[in-house]
Amino acid sequence: MITIQKQNSLIIVAVIGEFTLSDYKSFEEQIIYQSTFEGKANVVIDLRDMIDYTVDVAWEDLKFMHEHGNDFNHIAVVTDDQWQAWSAWISNLFTDAEVVVFQDYDKAIDWVTREDSSSTAD
């Protein structure tokens, strides 16, 4: 299950329990809407409460990042799991966005919002 919150240009996604393909499709829809109507997305993905994900989610993530990697501005991944951190690093290969892994949620939010405000000041 996921929750998605939108605060201005920031999209906050929290994964709770198992991350399913249906959940990922909801995430995709939000990113596509954001990039189409409001510009590149700034995203915080909180994986601290994720227990597992289905194989089709991993495949869909690779496909989506390959096709829509330029729709992102900044991506903060919140996790203390080394495998999830590696996965974020691999996703970084398919996007022009700056991807940073955090263990602290508040620091992730601070980074994304600071980067967002500094990039709009140009």
- Residue-wise pLDDT for 56-92, tens only, equals 988 898 899 889 989 999 999 999 887 777 676 666 6
Find the helix packing angle between 21-37 and 55-68, rounded to 10°.
Answer: 10
* pLDDT on residue 56: 92
Which tops the pLDDT comparison, 76 or 122?
A: 76
Residue 12 has which token pair?
């906050």
pLDDT band for position 117 (cuts 50, 70, 90): low
Torsion region of 36: left, alpha or beta (phi above 0 gives left; psi -120 to 50 gives alpha): alpha
- What phi-psi label fits residue 83: left (phi over 0), alpha (psi between -120 and 50 degrees) or beta? alpha
- Asked whether residue 49 carries a pLDDT value surpassing 70, the answer given is yes
Q: Where are the domains of the chain?
A: 2-120
User: Which CATH homologous superfamily contains domain 2-120?
Assistant: SpoIIaa-like domains (3.40.50.10600)
